[in-house]
Amino acid sequence: MALSRSGCYSAGHLSSKRQSVGLLFVPRAVGVVLLLMVPALTTCITPSGEARTCASEITTASSLVDKVKEQNGKSKVVVYSKTYCPYCARVRGLFKELNVDAKFFELDEMADGQDVQDALYDLSGSRTVPQVFVEGTYIGGADDTHSKYRSGELKKIFSDAGVSANL
């Protein structure tokens, strides 16, 4: 089971509903590792002791996927990113250089960011960020986007979608 940096994990695999769960760890020096899962927790404690909202409500997986699809349709270019991710910074820099009007969603700054990332997996098959969508179609992450740029494929994708860019 993979954990986000904050110690919150979306347990969508536990039931048909995605539920936020809180995880409590006891250091191995104690001799045991305790994992406490509390369904529908709305506040989680980060490893640094900071409290943050994990989810405001229980959301069904399909409705969250639908919400992500809806967001993808509101802008021609949508990027799901994290502020501390160097790969995300590469895509952000490329799009800035190309003067692409892209909508960035910083998952690490969103209360339901981990749940959104889980929904993105359902759409793209990828668990990593960045995730780049053009007109609602997943085109890849940082390496894919840069590869498409170098090959000229990104120019065609943007042209077909009516995205203006300095290509």
Bridge-based pairing state of the strands 103-106 and 77-81:
parallel
Residue type at position 16: S
pLDDT for 122 beyond 80: yes
pLDDT at 51: 55
CB 18 within 8 A of CB 115: yes
- What is residue 8's three-state secondary structure? strand
CA distance 139 to 30: 46
In the numeric block, the tokens 């490329």 are attached to 94
Hey, is 80 helix, strand or coil?
A: strand
The CATH label, of 2.40.160.60, 3.40.30.10, 3.30.1360.150, 3.40.50.720, for the domain at 60-161 is 3.40.30.10
How much is the pLDDT for 49? 56
Pairing status of strand 131-134 against strand 77-81 = antiparallel
- 66 CB contacts (<8 Å, ≥6 apart)? none
* Domain map (residue ranges) of the chain: 8-59, 60-161
Residue 74 CA neighbour count, 13 Å, CB half: 10
- Furthest C-alpha separation in the chain: 59
Q: pLDDT tens across 23-72, in order?
A: 444 344 444 433 333 333 334 444 555 555 444 333 445 688 999 999 99
% residues pLDDT > 70 (the chain): 63
pLDDT for position 62:
63
